[in-house]
Chain A
Amino acid sequence: MSVLVFVEASEGKFKKPAFEAVTYGAKIAAMLGVETHALCIDEADEAELRSLGDYGANKLWFVKNELFKNFDPLVFSKVIIQAEAQTNSDVLVLIQSYNGKAIAPVLAAKLRAGLVSGALDLPRIENNSFLVKKNVFSGKASATYEMHSAKKIISLMPNSIIPEKTVNNVELVELKPEIADTDFKIKIKEVVKASGTTTLSDAEIVISGGRGLKGPENWAMLEEMANILGGATACSRPVADIHWRPHTEHVGQTGIAIRPNLYIAIGISGAIQHLAGVNGSKVMVVINKDPEAPFFKAADYGIVGDALEVVPKLNEAFRKFKLGN
Chain B
Amino acid sequence: MKILVCISKTPDTTTKVSFTDNNTKFNSDRVQFIINPYDEWYALVRAIEIKEKSNAHVTIMNVGGADNDVIIRKALAIGGDDAVRIDAEADDAFFVADQIAQFLKTEPYDIVFVGKETIDYNGSQVGGMIAGLLDLSFISLASKLDVDGNTATLERDIPGGKEIVTVQTPFVVSASKGMAEARIPNMRGIMAARTKPVKVLPAFASERLTSIKQYALPKEKAGPKMIPSDNPEELVMLLHNEAKVI
Contacts and interface: CB of A to CB of B under 8 A. Distances in A.
B224 A112 contact: no
A19 B32 CA distance: 41
Interface in A233-285: 247, 250, 253-255, 257, 261-262, 272-273, 276, 279, 282-283, 285
A114 B92 CA distance: 9
Interface residues of B, number: 81
B163 interface: yes
A109 B94 contact: yes
A67 interface: no
Given A138-B119, A147-B210, A191-B161, A73 B128 contact: yes
A61 interface: no
Interface in A124-149: 129, 131, 134-149
A283 to B, nearest CB: 5
Contact of A102 (B122, B128, B243, B246): B128
B207 to A, nearest CB: 8
- Interface centre among A109, A247, A296, by most chain B C-beta atoms within 10 angstroms, is A109
Contact of A283 (B16, B94, B162, B243): B243
Interface in A14-57: none
Nearest to B166: A187
Interface string B75-87: 0000000000000
A317 B232 CA distance: 6
Interface string B3-18: 0000000010111110
Given A104-B128, A105-B128, A185-B167, A149 B209 contact: yes
Nearest to B121: A136
Contacts of B208: 148
Nearest to B209: A114
Interface string B211-230: 11111111001011111111
Interface string A303-314: 111100110011
Interface residues of A, number: 97
B233 to A, nearest CB: 5
Contact of B177 (A72, A109, A250, A321): A250
B153 A102 contact: no
Contacts, number: 271
B221 A109 contact: no
A110 B213 contact: no
Contacts of A300: 221, 224-225, 243
Contacts of B168: 185
Nearest to B225: A301
Interface stretch (A82-90, A168-176, A192-200, A214-222): A192-200
17 contacts: A105-B126, A108-B129, A146-B212, A148-B211, A186-B166, A186-B167, A188-B165, A189-B166, A193-B160, A194-B161, A262-B239, A297-B224, A301-B225, A303-B228, A305-B229, A318-B236, A321-B240
Interface of B: 11, 13-17, 19, 37-38, 93-94, 97, 101, 119-133, 135, 137-141, 153, 157-168, 171, 177-178, 207-218, 221, 223-230, 232-233, 235-236, 238-240, 243, 245-246
Which 4 A-B residue pairings sit nearest by Cβ, starting from the closest? A105-B128, A109-B132, A305-B229, A114-B209
Interface of A: 10, 71-74, 77, 97-99, 101-110, 112-118, 129, 131, 134-149, 185-194, 196, 199, 201-202, 204-205, 229, 247, 250, 253-255, 257, 261-262, 272-273, 276, 279, 282-283, 285-286, 296-306, 309-310, 313-314, 316-318, 320-321
Given A105-B93, A188-B164, A314-B236, 16 more contacts: A102-B141, A106-B138, A109-B133, A115-B209, A117-B123, A134-B122, A137-B17, A144-B214, A149-B210, A189-B164, A191-B163, A192-B161, A254-B177, A262-B239, A297-B221, A320-B233
